[in-house]
């Protein structure tokens, strides 16, 4: 892809269903090129029935005009893509960008969200902004993120990004490669992080669950733990588009088995101490079908 760094790498890890990726972010030139060559000519025709999410993160520009992680760059992306994006993602958790994860610390996160949300609120269209966090967080980090997200009235959390850990179960020649680990080896860690954040936010913030989801049962487990929406990456790259229909079919069967009419009724029901988002108004954009 011309929008990616030439140093971007990706490795499949045999047997375990894992995947190690070393991609990083688009430069501002990459964002601009994607907008000009893909979004402008095609508009919504290339994804007529789906939602378009856009990552606000920008890698250092070749010309030094837009520093990586600068608030200026994120505001610029917001302004340019606000007419086509259904939601924006602040990804402060990629393990492939040195120093990025420090933005999950309370003071830096507060400053970042203030700048982004102020810019978003100044635009004619109020586009939801979600924060993507790491699975490799301490309890204190999780508590701080939950408190900041609630205070800033963030639209949602995406849980979780890839992990820097390497379980003993990994096999294959690429098991020690650098980069974020995704797929099956990430599943339990991502699930535990989601469960903790749902409790810490008291079910008041929409959660998008991802990380190691490859079956309807995986998706259902995330939903019952507090996710209103699920995303897939590694299983889609490994199994292709048919995996989406399979997950949907299996999820429907599980909902019917448990006497639930829709996904919304299942959100958070395994976290019984926390009210389900089914009792709250959720932006229609993010309701799982």
Question: Does residue 200 sit within a domain?
Answer: yes
Q: How far apart are CA 206 and CA 44, in angstroms?
A: 25
Question: Does residue 141 sit within a domain?
Answer: yes
> Residue 80 is part of a domain; what is its CATH number?
3.20.20.70
Q: What is residue 287's predicted lDDT score, i.e. its pLDDT?
A: 42
Q: What is residue 31's predicted lDDT score, i.e. its pLDDT?
A: 63
Question: Does residue 93 sit within a domain?
Answer: yes
Q: What is residue 146's predicted lDDT score, i.e. its pLDDT?
A: 96
Q: How far apart are CA 277 and CA 122, in angstroms?
A: 28
Question: Does residue 3 sit within a domain?
Answer: no
Number of domains in the chain: 1
Positions marked active-site: 94
| CA angle, 181 then 69 then 120, to 5° | 105
Q: What are the 10-residue block averages of pLDDT along the chain, 289 residues in total?
A: 42 41 53 73 69 72 41 76 88 62 75 91 94 90 95 95 65 56 79 96 95 94 96 84 95 97 95 55 44
Q: What is residue 139's predicted lDDT score, i.e. its pLDDT?
A: 93
The CA-atom distances, in angstroms, between 49 and each of 125, 244, 285, 286 are: 20, 14, 11, 13
Q: What is residue 256's predicted lDDT score, i.e. its pLDDT?
A: 97
Question: Does residue 140 sit within a domain?
Answer: yes
Q: What is residue 7's predicted lDDT score, i.e. its pLDDT?
A: 47
Q: What is residue 45's predicted lDDT score, i.e. its pLDDT?
A: 67
Q: What is residue 178's predicted lDDT score, i.e. its pLDDT?
A: 57
> 81 lies in which domain range?
9-279
Cα dihedral sign for 154, 155, 158, 159?
A: positive
Asked if 183 contacts 17 with a C-beta cutoff of 8 angstroms, the reply is: yes
The CA-atom distances, in angstroms, between 43 and each of 34, 55, 201, 217, 241 are: 12, 17, 36, 34, 22
Alpha helices by DSSP H, listed for the chain, are: 28-34, 40-42, 71-81, 106-122, 139-151, 187-200, 216-225, 234-239, 242-257, 263-266
Residue with tokens 């535990």: 192
pTM of the model as a whole: 0.78
* Nearest alpha carbon to residue 212 among 240, 231, 199: 231
Q: What is residue 104's predicted lDDT score, i.e. its pLDDT?
A: 63
């Amino acid at each position: 892809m011309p929008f990616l760094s030439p140093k971007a790498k990706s490795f499949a890890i045999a047997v375990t269903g894992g995947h190690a990726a070393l991609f990083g972010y688009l430069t501002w030139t990459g964002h601009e090129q994607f907008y000009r060559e893909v979004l402008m000519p095609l508009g919504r025709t290339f994804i007529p029935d789906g939602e378009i999410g856009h990552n606000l993160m920008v890698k250092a520009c070749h010309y030094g005009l837009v520093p990586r992680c600068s608030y200026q760059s994120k505001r610029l992306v917001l302004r340019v893509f606000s007419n086509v994006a259904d939601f924006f993602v602040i990804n402060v958790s990629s393990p492939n960008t040195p120093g990025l994860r420090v933005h999950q610390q309370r003071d830096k996160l507060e400053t970042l969200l203030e700048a982004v949300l102020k810019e978003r609120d100044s635009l004619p269209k109020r586009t939801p902004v979600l924060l993507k966090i790491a699975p490799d967080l301490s309890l204190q980090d999780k508590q701080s993120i939950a408190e900041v997200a609630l205070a800033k009235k963030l639209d949602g959390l995406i849980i979780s990004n890839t992990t820097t850990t390497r379980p003993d179960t990994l096999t294959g020649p690429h098991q020690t490669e650098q980069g974020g680990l995704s797929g099956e080896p990430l599943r339990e860690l991502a699930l535990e992080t989601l469960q903790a954040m749902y409790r810490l936010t008291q079910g008041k913030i929409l959660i998008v669950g991802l990380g190691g989801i490859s079956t309807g049962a995986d998706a259902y487990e995330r939903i019952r733990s507090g996710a209103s929406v699920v995303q897939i990456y590694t299983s889609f790259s490994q199994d292709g588009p048919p995996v989406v229909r399979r997950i949907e079919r299996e999820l429907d069967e599980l909902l019917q088995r448990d006497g639930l009419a829709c996904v919304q009724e299942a959100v958070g029901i395994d976290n019984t101490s926390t009210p389900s988002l089914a009792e709250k108004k959720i932006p229609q954009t993010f309701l799982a079908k």
